[in-house]
């Protein structure tokens, strides 16, 4: 039967972006974390959304609108300079057993969807973070949500590059071993210490 397709049919996440999300959550295991998903303009012309990078936002100031406004201004400037586009949002909740999309996350994702209709929301499953560095972990530690008639719903079609081969898990394991997750800065860190690299960081 023919059915109308929702906007984001698939979401493909680069190994780097995925590892950054997990490193952000690993650096602040008892805090709620969130960030912005970036894609290259040329990759995002079809219904498939390609996430090229992740920009960690907060582990403290989730609820403060002025902080978000300041961060988004810098992100937009950065995107213009590098021919990137904001394609979505990621979040991880404070409570270990809470894997629901919070009202704050839904609001920020709604805002992104306002200018990128196929926006994706990646929600961290806290229970999967502990084993995400194991080659046996073939299920992503994040779940894909897309907006269906104004509500964020779980969606199939998430693909993390290198996960099936085990190279992404190995990469994440290596970063943890070298404590590189402790060097990943989010916007909160940048506000405390403006000399820190925030927008352009590779781990």
Q: Which residue has the higher pLDDT, 5 or 163?
A: 163
pLDDT at 95: 92
pLDDT digits (tens, 9 = 90+) for 85-102: 999 999 999 999 999 999
pTM: 0.93
Token output for 125:
């499953």
DSSP string, 94-141: SSTT--SPPHHHHHHHHHHHHH-TT-EEEEE-HHHHTTTTSTT--S-S
**9: three-class secondary structure by DSSP:** coil
**32: three-class secondary structure by DSSP:** coil
């Amino acid at each position: 039967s023919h059915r109308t397709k929702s906007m984001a049919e698939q979401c493909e996440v680069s190994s780097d972006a995925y590892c950054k999300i997990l490193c952000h959550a690993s650096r602040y295991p008892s805090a709620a974390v969130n960030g912005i998903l970036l894609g290259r303009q040329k990759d995002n012309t079809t219904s498939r959304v390609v996430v090229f990078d992740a920009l960690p936002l907060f582990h403290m100031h989730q609820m403060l609108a002025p902080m978000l406004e300041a961060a988004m201004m810098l992100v937009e400037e950065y995107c213009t300079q590098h021919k990137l586009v904001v394609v979505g949002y990621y979040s991880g909740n404070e409570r270990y057993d809470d894997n629901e999309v919070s009202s704050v996350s839904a609001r920020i994702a709604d805002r992104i969807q306002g200018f990128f209709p196929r926006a994706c929301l990646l929600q961290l499953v806290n229970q999967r973070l502990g084993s995400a560095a194991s080659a046996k972990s073939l299920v992503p530690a994040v779940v894909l949500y897309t907006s269906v008639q104004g509500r964020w719903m779980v969606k199939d079609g998430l693909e993390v590059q290198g996960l099936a081969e085990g190279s992404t898990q190995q990469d994440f394991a290596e970063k943890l071993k070298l404590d590189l997750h402790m060097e990943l800065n989010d916007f909160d860190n940048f506000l405390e210490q403006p000399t820190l690299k925030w927008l352009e960081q590779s781990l």
